[in-house]
Amino acid sequence: MAGHVLIVDALLNRRIHLRAQLDTAAYPVEFAETMTEALLYIQKDPPDVVIIADDLPGLRLRHVCKLLRARPQTQLTTIVVAVAHENHSARVSALIEGAHDVIDHHSDPADLKARLRNFMRIKQSTQDSRSPAEPEVRVGLAEASQSFLPKTVVTFVAPEAAVDVPSRVESVALETGLETRITTIKSARRSPDEDTDVFVLFETASGTEARDLLGALQSHPKCRHSRILFVTDQSIAAASPLDLGAQDQVPLSVSSSELALRIRRLARLKHDADEARKTTTALGEKAYTDPITGLKNRQAMDDYLRKTDRALSDHARPIALLIADIDHFKAINDNHGHAAGDDILGHIARLLKANLRDGDFVARYGGEEFLVVLPDVGPAQARSVAQRLRTTVSTNPRAIEDGTHVRATISIGVAHARRTDRVSTKDLRRAADSALYRAKRKGRNRIEIATPGDIETTPAQHSKAVTRQAL
């Protein structure tokens, strides 16, 4: 995965060393000796990743991080700080000041390239999922806001022989105030904790159980949205934990402060992703919901019917389709106003929904019409449901805003298909529409059952039926 990297370091030998590590990964690499030179270069040609030496003269890392994130062109640029080996305080300081990640000046080449691949994937995924007008987003380990973090559960998973894990968990709990739990690899694989926001997997020198668990957790429905932090010093040539799906990786020598900081940031990203999914779901529901009745709208109805047709082609089953129309609805609007008409629409929608099963489908078909789908019912049951809906509406008048009680009625056309019938929902809709047209002609406030001839109605005949708006 190609990417553009800028190395900012005053020492020539370290710049050359890092470039040598990246050449085999086909990453174009540029150099800068000072932060001023680097910022000029970034403004001209924004890189995907900037690796900055922590001992760069005059470096104000927090300022640099905020500056890059304030510009649309560099908002998704990953900022990595290179520090001296085992300099734990420098690692923690860099993360606190806003770096996405920290590496050693003489990082293992395989680990460095795996991290870069991870950064590139995160950036591409973020670009693919955000809209042009979307505000600043956090990626990777970007500095999180200090706003309230909801209850967060962290589960530490380690081989049974890892005796130092309890002490590490205690230290992290004191650092973060998060709820921590400990389990074994076998227990986590058999029954993962669905409340866990961040799994911390410890890998020892023996076996690949932790890496196997990594894949299992990502595919398990209870925890597939959890974040995973992999703790290891093992170098397995097959694949890095980051390439296997872990969101972060640290060595076993990581300090408790750094471990706690990384866990907290992964937890923040997980909560942000949860909220984003909720927002997306809510927007999706809004896009498929009729604002007046609260029922599914025409778009949702069309999607449902398409899925139903596919399901019926694979597994035939009996099904009934009803189309209900409010009688004399124009008169209600003319006599009481459009606000009252909307009130009546919502009232009847609630009555219909309350008198159907959970597995039934009801939508606003358009205007004053509603469409109901009843899976797995016979013709007698379909007729019974239609009668119940008609009776419920006619016997429940609605008190509108001025205190007047409006008694609305509905006419219903019913079309039914047996398991052995090979008809589509389009055929049933056409048949129910024809039956509804007859109910209107015969006096309204009644139901009519579609005949085999209704299903065979030609499109030309159907087009005449749907011009009945004045009825």
pLDDT computed for residue 175 by the predictor? 67
* pTM across the whole model: 0.65
Written as six digits, the tokens of 82 are 């290179």
Note the pLDDT of residue 172: 81
For residue 287, what is the enclosing H or E element?
helix 256-287
In angstroms, the Cα distances linking 163 to 101, 204, 228 are 28, 11, 21
Distances (CA, A) of 67 to 76, 123, 251: 12, 18, 30
DSSP state of 295: S
pLDDT on residue 129:
59
Distance of alpha carbon 132 from the chain centroid: 19
Query: How many CB atoms are located within 10 Å of the residue 304 CB?
Result: 17
410 φ, ψ (degrees, to nearest 5): -130, 150
* The 153-158 sheet, strands edge to edge: 179-184, 153-158, 198-202, 227-231, 248-250
- Please name the helix (run of DSSP H) or strand (run of DSSP E) that holds residue 39, with its range, or none: helix 35-44
- Could you give the domains of the chain? 5-129 (3.40.50.2300), 153-282 (3.40.50.2300), 298-465 (3.30.70.270)
Closest CA to 265 of 243, 248, 241, 279: 248
CA atoms within 13 A on the CB side of 299: 7
Q: Which residues contact 167 (CB under 8 A, 6 or more apart)?
A: none
Q: What is the pLDDT of residue 149?
A: 62
Question: Where do runs of H (alpha helix) occur along 323-404?
Answer: 329-336, 338-354, 379-394
Q: Are 247 and 225 in contact (CB under 8 A)?
A: no
Mean pLDDT by 10-residue block, N- to C-terminus, for the chain (471 residues)? 84 91 78 95 93 96 94 92 93 94 90 88 72 48 51 87 75 78 91 93 81 89 91 74 91 90 91 83 82 93 93 88 97 93 96 93 95 94 96 94 91 93 91 96 96 67 41 43
* Residue 200 confidence (pLDDT): 95
